Structure 1
């Protein structure tokens, strides 16, 4: 799971006039092999070092003439850029870096998403890395592998590549394509000098994610079955605050989800069956971890969610946030709380047998197992 960044939209003209002491220039040329649009939007972005999840975004609308467009940027630091076509709703190009004196060529032969990039050592290395990653998965992947297994294998490749190039900008990009857990493990191996390289934005973002992932892993280690679930207080669809402590003495099943999580939404069927069967013995609470209220509220009717529904504040970084307390880095996550307020069962991911285990625990047919159910 990944959270939406805070975007600040500034005009390119203001951005350029605000710069001083600039002596270098970056050139970006976009060539269309077929069906050139009249205009394109070039979006440049950079991260705030003090708040790596925030980005400054500069958008330029550029006229395409004779199937190409060329822009010269007087910039004092590296940026990441992408290109989109304002005439359609197709995805724009991939995001790629441009340094202060790079001359980058983007060749579009069909969809922007499939555009090719050339012109700098890092651009070429990123293209090569992408191809190597696809070849690795083709040679080592298996059609019977689950999505989780494929992601783990992919992360293994990019982590190994990053460690083989830990003193180079491409090593930063390789680790950025690995899992959050891999970032936590391998970030400290990267050369700190890369923070001031063309890959500096990616470096500070990975550092942020590494620290966040380490905190989550520590929380996951602490919040095991048998430990007391910290209390929290979140608003329901009417704005009324509901606290976990108000359910003391009863069984509670917490299910964490978000609108973009297809696995979560598919799991509502089994959750609905459980809720109907155990309504008199266990309270079901779903917690949306990543949506705004105007998006969240209509979904409660759309997905037929007749239980208690709460909305989490992703900007709350205290331990009062149940997402932080449990170390949730991906969803779905489902947690059974016993009448004493302790975690009786926890599932990170999906498992068709999990509800059978929950029912058995509630009915006292077996004791909770140690560890996680995956």
Structure 2
């Protein structure tokens, strides 16, 4: 089937056309009418999907159905070829970053030397800089609005706020009439306005020193769970969602922290902003999140947003055994360092 991928990463793909293909050979034609350059995916039943951009009236892709892997050949679409190349190079560079993070975790857990930790930290910074340079170069050199939009989405995992704003501005100057890019700018501006209205921004420690509010939601089995039931333990309240790319990218670091400190009067309470229970449960399993998970499956209308007044995820609060918030917005190494500092 042919599906359009909406610009909002939390929105389900929209099916445009479908066809039956019997056996592992033959050809089919799928048709869709796009108002502007957009990313689509060709989905094989019980198989992988393949990304395509409509920068031409006709785009041909060649798939080996016998292999059912992610490889495919493209003709007639320069933007699709560019997107394929970007994704592969992004994955390669991102893998380097992830491996260095894993190395740093290993050094800390095994008590490695200071010099080895310093060396690994330097390589981590270099690998992140190389990843960001690659994204910047790719966006600056792209002639495709759809590829630029995709790359902007990936940049949110590693760009600083000012870096993202500068790059978004450049892309909008290059493609001023692209509706999805305009919508991205509108959503971003609304988010910044909400942060201003709340009188806080991520990492401003607005909750630190305050008693954590109580809140009750169903767990994965439908059983009500309250924050107050964790009194007596250090608990990290982790707000996330299956559709949130940065959340999923951060989850390996959270899993590492949980495994390292779970025997020191510490646990985690995951609070999901998902809409679909099946997607929530799948993400919990895929990311190996072994701690308690709760959700009212209400997306941004979740009562957790109203109570805790956050406007972006991932977001978390570290609460002491007496129910007082002692830190917020802890990510990566900062989470590890804080837990080492406060746990008995």
- Whether the 8 Å contact between 2:21 and 2:27 is mirrored in structure 1 is yes
Q: Who is 2:341 aligned against?
A: 357
Distance 1:185 1:193 in 2: 13
Equivalent residue runs for 1:134-283 within 5 Å: 137=93, 145-146=100-101, 150=127, 153-165=130-142, 169-180=146-157, 181=159, 183-191=164-172, 194=175, 196-197=177-178, 200-201=179-180, 203=181, 206-207=184-185, 210-211=188-189, 214=192, 219-223=201-205, 226=208, 228=210, 231=213, 233-237=215-219, 239-240=223-224, 242=226, 252-256=234-238, 261-275=251-265
Distance 2:307 2:134 in 1: 29
Query: Normalising to structure 2: TM-score of the pair?
Result: 0.61
Superposed CA offset, 1:196-238 (max 9, x none):
44xx54x357447745875679532323674536635231546
> Greater strand share, 1 or 2?
1
- Whether the 8 Å contact between 1:345 and 1:358 is mirrored in structure 2 is no
| Secondary structure of the structure 2 residue equivalent to 1:343 | strand
Q: Who is 1:106 aligned against?
A: 61
Give the number of equivalent residue pairs. Answer: 295
- Unaligned stretches of 5+ in structure 1? 1-41, 279-283, 361-374
> Greater helix share, 1 or 2?
2
RMSD, aligned CA: 4.9
Would the alpha carbon gap of residues 54 and 130 (structure 1) be closer, same or farther in structure 2, given more than 3 Å must change?
A: closer
Q: Hey, which bits of structure 1, 4+ residues long, moved more than 6 A?
A: 257-260
Q: Who is 1:82 aligned against?
A: 41
Would the alpha carbon gap of residues 229 and 165 (structure 1) be closer, same or farther in structure 2, given more than 3 Å must change?
A: farther
Q: Who is 1:96 aligned against?
A: 52
Distance 1:247 1:128 in 2: 47
Q: Who is 1:43 aligned against?
A: 2
Superposed CA offset, 1:8-28 (max 9, x none):
xxxxxxxxxxxxxxxxxxxxx
Superposed CA offset, 1:58-91 (max 9, x none):
34024369944242636252453323333xx442
Query: Normalising to structure 1: TM-score of the pair?
Result: 0.57
- Whether the 8 Å contact between 1:46 and 1:57 is mirrored in structure 2 is no
- Unaligned stretches of 5+ in structure 2? 103-123, 243-247
| Secondary structure of the structure 2 residue equivalent to 1:316 | helix
1:73 aligns with 2:31: yes
Would the alpha carbon gap of residues 62 and 195 (structure 1) be closer, same or farther in structure 2, given more than 3 Å must change?
A: farther
- Whether the 8 Å contact between 2:53 and 2:77 is mirrored in structure 1 is no
